[in-house]
Each structure stands twice: as structure tokens, then as C-alpha cells.
Amino acid sequence: MKNYDKLLNDLAPQKFGKAGVIWTSSLIVIIIIGLIAYIDQIRKGLVVTNLNDYALWGIYISNFVFFVATSFVASVTVAVLRLTNNSWRTPIVRIAEIIAVACIIMAGLTIMIDMGRPDRLLNLFIYGRMQSPIIWDVIIIPTFMIISLLLLYFPLLPDLAILKTHFKEKNPTLSKWYGRLSLNWTGNPKQTKIQLKSIKIVALLILITGIILQTIDAWLFSTLFRVGWDSTNMGAYFVSGAAVAGLGALVTVVYVLRRAYKLENYITNIHFDKLGKFLALACLVYLYFNINEYLIPEFTSKKEEISHLNLLIDGQFAPLFWLVIIGGLIIPTIILLFKKGRTPFSIFVVGLLVVIGSWWKRYLIVTPTLLHPFLPIQGVPKSWQHYFPSWHEWIITIATLAMALLIITILVRFLPIIPIEKTANEQELLNKNTNS
């Protein structure tokens, strides 16, 4: 048995400090307020939202798309970095896996918030038709959820065994749970062989299903006639956008956890530099698809396309559009292209910009398209020409975001943020190499 004392001291789950308690309890308070708002919504119907027969989808849907996109983080970091043999991934993969689990769970929950009849949820299984992209979503989301849980779980096994011994005296109950969850892990060659093989398979699976999930999400829109959605670009556009959202969320969370748990020795500036480059690449790819999406229709200038684009470029959504494109995509890319821009704090700020930009970007994908249908909006209240979320929508949406953060917080509280066993192995290898 290796000596994990130093590592355990740094990396073993710790009880919440004062800040942690305040953070967690405020999240819980926000979630409770959101729950109350949701119960009110169930009671009164979706009338509590500012949705209408034209703006028939709003932030519930864009928030859902955001969660789905962010859950792509596991595919893009864990799987891609593993397949490309980037060994610097070790200290950040678990965080990525945790974010993915939290986001895909929340994606599943938020889509239900948008339903007019959540009480008829079972109809999806009783009467489901394969022709509907929603059914594809109903299949892929639970699938991706299971896979992301497995992706989190397999590499955790050795760490759980270590924690079992670590907490034996300090906290027997906790230790018992770690023991149970570790599935009698001893680290013998047979177990290790199966585990490594399984990790390889699950990594491949998360990449494939991740791309499928993002594409289906894109098809929810591109299978419809509406201008702004009816685009063959959508699938690739969503996959690349998801990489941006996922990496943005990752760098932000990594920075916060590094500060909160003082992990500077494990997550170094080099890691941020690498992540920064990776994010820059994702942003550039996404920018490329954005140019496809917005510039090419401008060229042919079809009447409906132009009215859609005008809404974004100099119409009612222009301020938001340019904030998202410039603030959430172009400026981050430029910052990240410079070495000085890839310091941890700078990357944290960029990550925040990218995440906020990504969230609003989904709003801009959903809402403006709905506000200019093919036939003119007539004979309905004037307010139906616009859409901005109501208080209920904001409160519920913020609560879902809080719930995602709460899931991350809880997982971080009980699981080692950085893989202990793997780090130990790598250090050992490093020491061997330097000694010899």
C-alpha cells in the first residue's frame, strides 16, 4: 500500500467551512423559493410565465439547452483528452465529470418544468412515437445520465477504497459508505484490469453519446420550419457551442475549487494555460459556425432571413446579441490567444464571460425566431410581440442553476476533487524517472 498521507491530507473530502455552509444554505434557500414558484406554476398553469402563443418557448427551454450543452464538458475533456493522450488532464477530469453529472440531471429536470401537463409525463412512455425528436431526447438524456454517472464512478473506485481506510477512525459511518461504494476494491491486478478496460469503454461511449445528445438537441430546432432554426448548420453549431459552454463552466469551477480547497500544488498554472488554449480552440471553432449561421443568410438576403437577422443585428435583440458575440466569444478568444491572458484569474474571468454568454446565446437561439412567424402576429395582445421572462420564470430558472451548483457542491463535499490514487501513481512515476 502506497503512502497517501500527504495526498489525503490535501485531497480527502473536508467538512464545509463557514463559507461552505453559507454557500450551501443559500443555494438551498434559492431552491426552496424556486420550488414554491414552481408549485404556484403548477397550480395556475404556465400563465405565470410571460410565454404566449407566439413566444411559446422561453428561458425554460434555453436554460435546458444550456444544461445539455454544459454537460458536454465530460465528453470534451475526459474523452477527448484521453483519446489524444494528454496526461495533464488528471487533476481536472473529476471536476469535469461532476459538472457533467450535475448538468445532465438538471437538463432532465428543467425540460419537465416547461411541460404544460407534467402530470402526464408517463404518456411519453405509453404513447411515445419515434418520429418525434422529443422522444429521441427522452431516450438519450437518461442514457447520457447513466453513462456520465459510470464515467464518474469507475475511476472513483480506488479513491473510495482509500477513503474508507482514511475515515475508519475519524468517521465510521462515512467510512462504511465509502466501503460499500468502493465495491470491495483492493486494487488487485484483476480488478485493475477490468476497471481500466471499463474506463476506456465508458470514455468512448461518453464521446459518442455526447455528440448524439448535442445533435438531437440541435434537431429539436432544425427539424422545424422556423427561420433561424431551419438550418443544416445546427448540429455542428450545437456541438461546438457545447464545447465552449462546457469548457467555460469547467475553468470557472476549477478556479473556484482551487481557491476554496487550496489546490495550487495540484492544479497549477500550466493546467490553466492548457485549458485556456483548449477553450480558445473551442471558441474559434464556435465562431466559425456562428459566421456560417449569421453571415451566409445575410448574403442571399431572403426576406424572412433578413427580418430575423435584423432583429438580432440592429433590432430589439441587438444589444444582447452583440454582448454575447463580442463579450462572450470574441473578447474571450482574443484574451486566451495571449500567454498573459492564460493566467488562472484571467481564465476564470474569461470562463465566467463564456458561461454567461453561452446561457444568453441559447436565449437568442430560442426567442427571436419565435417572435417573427411566417404569418404576421395580429389580433393578439400587443405584449405578445415581445418576450421577456416573468418573475416566476426567473426564480425557477435561477433555482435550477442553484440546484446544479448544489449537486456539484455535494459531490465535491463527499468525493475527492482530484483523483488521489491516480495522482499518487503519477507522482511515483515522476519520482522514479527523476531518481533514475
- Is the separation of the CB atoms in 293 and 237 below 8 Å? yes
Among 32, 39, 47, 83, binds other proteins (CB under 8 A): 47
Q: Does 45 bind other proteins (CB under 8 A)?
A: yes
Q: Which of these ranges, 93-101, 224-232, 281-289, 356-364, lies near other proteins under the rule CB under 8 A? A: 224-232
**What's the CA gap between 307 and 304, in Å, rounded?**
5
Among 35, 80, 174, 212, binds other proteins (CB under 8 A): 212
Say how far apart CA 415 and CA 417 lie, in whole Å. Answer: 6
- Output the smallest distance, CB 294 to other proteins, in A: 21
Asked if 388 interacts with other proteins (CB under 8 A), we say: no
- Retrieve residue 14's grid coordinates: 473536508
Q: For 367-399, b where at least 16 C-beta lie within 10 A, e where not — what string?
A: bbbbbbeeeeeeeeeeebeebebbebbebbbbb
Any contact of residue 175 with other proteins (CB under 8 A)?
Answer: no
Q: Does 1 bind other proteins (CB under 8 A)?
A: no
* Dihedral, CA of residue 163, residue 166, residue 172 and residue 178, to nearest 10: 10
Q: Of 369, 374, 117, 381, which is closest to residue 220 (Cα–Cα)?
A: 369
Cβ at position 275, least distance to other proteins in Å: 28
Which CB atom, from 150 or from 285, has the smaller least distance to other proteins?
150
CB of 139 to other proteins, least distance (A): 6
The correct pick among 3, 84, 131, 300 for binding other proteins (CB under 8 A) is 131
- Neighbouring residues of 108: CB distance < 8 A, sequence distance ≥ 6: 141, 142, 145
CA distance 379 to 330: 41
Asked if 56 is part of the footprint of other proteins (rule: CB under 8 A), the reply reads yes
Tell me whether residue 11 or residue 46 sits nearer to other proteins (CB atom).
46
Q: Does 301 bind other proteins (CB under 8 A)?
A: no
Q: Considering only residues 16, 20, 24, 54, which one is a binding residue for other proteins as defined by CB under 8 A?
A: 54
Q: Is 162 left (phi over 0), alpha (psi -120 to 50) or beta?
A: alpha
Closer Cβ to other proteins, 273 or 393, answer by number: 393
Site for other proteins, residues 71 to 110, rule: CB under 8 A: none
Query: Distance (Å, rounded) from C-alpha 274 to C-alpha 414?
Result: 28
Binding flag, residue 165, other proteins (CB under 8 A) = no
The reply to whether 378 sits near other proteins by the rule CB under 8 A is: yes
Nearer to other proteins by Cβ, of 203 and 325: the residue is 203
Q: Which of 4, 66, 136, 167 binds other proteins (CB under 8 A)?
A: 136
List C-alpha distances in Å: 277 to 332, 335, 379, 425. 11, 10, 52, 27
- Give the interface segment with other proteins, choosing from 72-80, 131-139, 282-290, 325-333 (CB under 8 A): 131-139
* Min dist. Cβ of residue 157 to other proteins (A): 7
Q: Please check whether residue 293 is in contact with residue 213, taking contact to mean a CB–CB distance below 8 angstroms.
A: no
Distance CA 194, CA 238 (A): 34
C-alpha closest to that of 207 among 100, 353, 53: 100
Span 353-372, contacts to other proteins by CB under 8 A? 370
Closest listed residue to residue 74, CA positions, set 234, 182, 202:
202
Choice between 157 and 355, CB closer to other proteins: 157
Provide the residue count of the chain: 436
Q: In the set 35, 109, 138, 330, which binds other proteins (CB under 8 A)?
A: 138
132 binds other proteins (CB under 8 A): yes
Cα-based angle 363, 390, 225 (whole degrees, multiple of 5):
40
Q: For other proteins, which residue of 20, 373, 394, 398 counts as binding (CB under 8 A)? A: 373
Residues that bind other proteins (rule: CB under 8 A) add up to a total of 76
386 binds other proteins (CB under 8 A): no
Comparison of 47 and 291: residue with beta carbon closer to other proteins: 47
Contacting residue, 319, 374, 432, 436, with other proteins by CB under 8 A: 374
HSE at residue 20, side-chain half, CA atoms within 13 A, is 14
Give the shortest CB-50-to-other proteins separation in angstroms.
10
Considering the complex, what minimum distance in angstroms separates the CB of residue 25 from other proteins?
Answer: 33
Q: Which stretch binds other proteins (CB under 8 A): 192-200, 266-274, 315-323, 352-360?
A: 192-200
Say which amino acid occupies 341.
G
Concatenating the DSSP letter of every residue in 289-318 gives HHHHHHHHHHHHT-HHHHHHHHHHHTSTTH
